[in-house]
Amino acid sequence: MRARTLGSTRGRAAVDRVTDAAHPIDVRAVVKRFGARSRPALDGASFVVKSGRRACLLGPNGAGKTTLIRILTGALAPTSGEARVFGATPTEPAWGVSRRRVGVVPQLPGMYRDLTAREYLELVRGVYERGDVDRAAQRLGLTRKHLRRSMAELSGGWQRRLTLAAALLCEPDLIVLDEPTVGLDPVAAREVIAMLREATAGRTALLCTHNLAEAEALCDDVVVLRDGRVVLDDSIEELRRRAPAHAAIGVREGAEAAVQALRELAVDARVDGARAVFLATDPEANLPPIVKALVDKGLSVFECVATPPTLEELFLKAVQTTAQDTNAHRDGEELSS
């Protein structure tokens, strides 16, 4: 809205150029304290979401995810640092234009009893100054019957569709989703994930979630927050490439024989059912020589499977590593003092 006060078309065009060139999300050393003596909700968080990428923001309860989203939407101001959306912060003239390029699905919002679903979508359209209510509703499967009902009368799944329709109404370039499936039953959650997959295609997205399966299904990149700090920021593909895969080898002579032979090859294997399992970095390069060595030892290999680590494993590893680092750092500080 402030950008409009620039007045001239030239000014508006300049704002558009600036915001088009910038990353959709650029968070730099953001600190947020609610009170001078309180523990920071965000403690120097920094990350970037590039155009067209879908990033998930993961972290345990109290990690600062919702605070970060509120800072990105301009609802809260950072204590220090800056969070830019399409190159602008809320204190800059270009913010109005940038903010209108963002659709937000809030976490478990309340529903008005005295407004119908259509009235709410009309309100959203009025605020964004663009969008087609009927088209947005139709895309999410909301019928005229749904639109005539009070927002609070809709079921949980339909309420979530409504908030998603509101976020997509303005055809945003960036969509921010704060725990979009929390509180839904598994069937409704699956439906919402399917809709999100469609809605985020070709858009930049930031998905804040606890649900790792949901993050894995919808996102390219992962940002892990812990105690207000970013402890991991990478693409899921790259993380998988770097992290060891779970390898399982089956031999006709039995799992014990396979484990014995693998240990002779200096591979730390263990028995898991009828298979010998171990962690293998770069399985494409390292597993064929291992299989060949087992065959050379006279074992009849009938199976070799490499399973990439799940996002859950990557997440837990990142969080545990940070916790150990933090504890080690604290111990060091205590010793030095």
Partner 1 sequence: MSAFRTLLRKETVQLLRSKSALATATLLPSLLLLFAPLSLLATLVDVDQKGWVSVLPANFNPPRGLVGMERDSSVIVRFMLASLVSMGGLVVPAVAASYTMVSERESRTLELLAALPVTIRQVLTAKLGVILAMSTAVTSAMLALDVAVVLRLQMASVGYALSLFPLLVAALLYSTASALLISLLARDFRTANQMGGALLGPTTVVAVWVLAFGPPGAPAVLILAAIFLAAAALALYVALRVVTFERLLR
Query: Does 105 sit near partner 1 (CB under 8 A)?
Result: yes
Q: Which is nearer to partner 1, 120 or 158 (CB)?
A: 120
Out of 47, 86, 128, 315, which residue is the one contacting partner 1 (CB under 8 A)?
128
Distances (CA, A) of 132 to 150, 196, 258: 20, 19, 63
Cβ nearer to partner 1, comparing 111 with 305: 111
CA atoms of 267 and 134, how far apart (whole Å): 61
- Using CB under 8 A as the binding rule, whether residue 106 contacts partner 1 is answered as yes
Across 244-261, b (16+ Cβ under 10 Å) vs e yields: bbbbbbbbeeebebbbeb
What residue has token string 């263990």? 270
Nearer to partner 1, 24 or 74 (CB): 74
Q: Which stretch binds partner 1 (CB under 8 A): 126-134, 276-284, 287-295, 327-335?
A: 126-134
For position 99 contacting partner 1 by CB under 8 A, the verdict is yes
Residue 119 neighbours by CB under 8 Å, 6+ apart: none
- In the complex with partner 1, the residue whose CB is nearer, 167 or 193, is 167
CB 85 within 8 A of CB 96: no
Half-sphere exposure of 313 (CA within 13 A, CB side): 12
Cα distance between residue 280 and residue 263, in whole Å: 14
Q: Among 6-14, 109-117, 230-238, 243-251, which window interacts with partner 1 (CB under 8 A)? A: 109-117
Helix (H, G, I), strand (E, B), or coil: what is residue 133?
helix
Q: In angstroms, what is the minimal distance from the CB of 70 to partner 1?
A: 6
Residue 111 lies near partner 1 (rule: CB under 8 A)? yes
Q: Choose the stretch contacting partner 1; rule: CB under 8 A; options: 117-125, 200-208, 222-230, 312-320.
A: 117-125
CB of 131 to partner 1, least distance (A): 12
Question: Can you spell out the DSSP letters for 237-272?
Answer: HHHHHHSPEEEEEEETT-HHHHHHHHHHTT---EEE
From residue 156 to residue 195, what is the string marking binding to partner 1 with x (rule CB under 8 A)? -------x--xx----------------------------
What is the rounded distance in angstroms from the CA atom of residue 28 to the CA atom of residue 52?
20
Q: Is 108 in the site for partner 1 (CB under 8 A)?
A: yes
| Closest CB 102 distance from partner 1, rounded Å | 7
Contact 67, 42 (CB under 8 A): yes
DSSP 308: P
Region 27-86 residues binding partner 1, contact defined as CB under 8 A: 34, 70, 73-77
The Cα 268–Cα 228 span in angstroms is: 36
Decide: is 1 part of the binding site for partner 1 (CB under 8 A): yes
Give the tokens for residue 92: 């800059």
Query: What mask, x for binding partner 1 by CB under 8 A, covers residues 220 to 259?
Result: ----------------------------------------
Residues 76 and 32 sit within 8 Å (Cβ to Cβ): yes
Distance in Å, CB of 91 to partner 1, minimum: 12
Can you give the binding site for partner 1, defined by CB under 8 A? 1, 34, 70, 73-77, 96, 99-100, 102, 104-112, 114-115, 119-120, 123-124, 126-129, 163, 166-167
